[in-house]
């Protein structure tokens, strides 16, 4: 039996509660408790007990169909993240203008571990391409334009950790070779933007640029999704770069001068 002062039981309890919350995603917004148990791998009695406690705390909610979902209380607490709130508040007016100008999906992401975490997303009705991301969803950093931009400005240790991790193949166009990915990172750092064509969805090309923070390090990546076949990067890149610089200045940064824009038709562009 665990002693009253032993922190191990509390750590285990917290870890299990986090696993339960992580069971919910864009494809599983609400679940029966039995499905939560299957998705977490926790014993059913343990899951029912912890779900009950999370319901009492407001971190989960139960619908009329008896399924459970993430509660408003959890959103309230998460919204207190100072960095994310400041970033979103600074970016939103600029993203609204960008969205109106390009009329394509736009998104803002930050590097979290080995993934890009999307803190804001603007969906466009009638956009040329599908977008599988949602606000608060993730993609592996190696696989998307936002991830290449963020990794290009990350520490060598972070880059190597991501490149050493298993890499999922999304489409026949997904680049997983570590050497080729290092080349893309070098190009993204030099050019000031990254282009990824069909790595996550064959129809979609992502174009991303860095957003600089007040300490003049890259805080986030701003991206636009365009059609992989017909759309040209040159149609969105200037306004995307200008928008990112506006957000950066709103955050108190002095972004560096832009490098010359490479030929959009360059086959090494992504």
What's the mean per-residue pLDDT of the chain?
86
Higher pLDDT among residues 196 and 8, named by residue:
196
Q: Report residue 68: phi and psi, to 5°.
A: -110, 155
Strand order in the sheet with 204-212: 138-140, 115-122, 106-112, 218-227, 204-212, 194-197
pLDDT in tens, 164-188: 999 999 999 999 999 999 999 999 9
| Mean pLDDT across 71-97 | 80
- The pLDDT, as a whole number, for residue 232 is 76
Give me 267's structure tokens: 């086959």
User: Is the distance from CB of 50 to CB of 16 less than 8 angstroms?
Assistant: yes
Q: How many helices (H) and strands (E) does the chain have?
A: 9, 9
What domains lie within the chain, and their CATH numbers?
8-77 (1.10.10.10), 82-269 (3.30.450.40)
Q: Is the pLDDT of residue 265 over 70?
A: no
Q: Is the pLDDT of residue 222 over 70?
A: yes
Q: Could you give the CA distance from residue 28 to residue 9 in angstroms, rounded to a whole number?
A: 29
Q: What is the pTM of this model?
A: 0.74
Residue whose pair of structure tokens reads 């995307």 in the numeric block: 240
Q: Could you give the CA distance from residue 23 to residue 148 in angstroms, rounded to a whole number?
A: 27
Q: Is the pLDDT of residue 78 over 80?
A: no
Q: Could you give the CA distance from residue 137 to residue 120 in angstroms, rounded to a whole number?
A: 10
Q: Report residue 251: phi and psi, to 5°.
A: -85, 0
Give me 162's structure tokens: 């991501």
Query: Is residue 103 left, alpha or beta, with left meaning phi > 0 and alpha meaning psi from -120 to 50?
Result: left
Share of the chain above pLDDT 70, in %: 86
- The pLDDT, as a whole number, for residue 80 is 65
116 SS3 class: strand
Burial bucket for residue 48 (CB in 10 Å: 0-12, 13-18, 19+): middle
């Amino acid at each position: 039996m665990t002693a009253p002062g032993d922190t191990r039981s509390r750590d285990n309890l917290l870890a299990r509660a986090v696993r339960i919350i992580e069971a919910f995603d864009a494809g599983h917004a609400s679940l029966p408790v039995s499905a939560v148990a299957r998705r977490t791998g926790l014993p059913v009695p343990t899951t029912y007990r912890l779900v009950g406690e999370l319901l009492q705390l407001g971190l989960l909610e139960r619908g009329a169909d008896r399924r459970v979902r993430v509660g408003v209380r959890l959103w309230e607490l998460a919204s207190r993240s100072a960095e994310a709130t400041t970033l979103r508040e600074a970016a939103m007016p600029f993203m609204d203008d960008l969205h109106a100008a390009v009329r394509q999906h736009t998104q803002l992401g930050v590097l979290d571990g080995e993934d890009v975490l999307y803190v804001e997303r603007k969906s466009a009705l009638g956009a040329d391409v599908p977008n599988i991301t949602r606000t608060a969803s993730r993609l592996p950093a190696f696989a998307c334009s936002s991830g290449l931009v963020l990794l290009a400005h990350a520490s060598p240790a972070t880059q190597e950790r991501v490149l050493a991790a298993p890499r999922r193949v999304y489409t026949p166009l997904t680049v997983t070779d570590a050497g080729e990915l290092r080349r893309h990172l070098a190009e993204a750092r030099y050019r000031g933007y990254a282009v990824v064509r069909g790595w996550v969805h064959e129809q979609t090309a992502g174009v991303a640029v860095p957003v600089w923070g007040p300490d003049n390090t890259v805080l986030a990546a701003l991206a636009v999704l365009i059609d992989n076949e017909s759309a040209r990067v040159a149609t969105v890149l200037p306004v995307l770069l200008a928008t990112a610089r506006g957000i950066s200045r709103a955050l108190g940064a002095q972004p560096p001068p832009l490098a010359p824009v490479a030929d959009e038709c360059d086959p090494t562009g992504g």
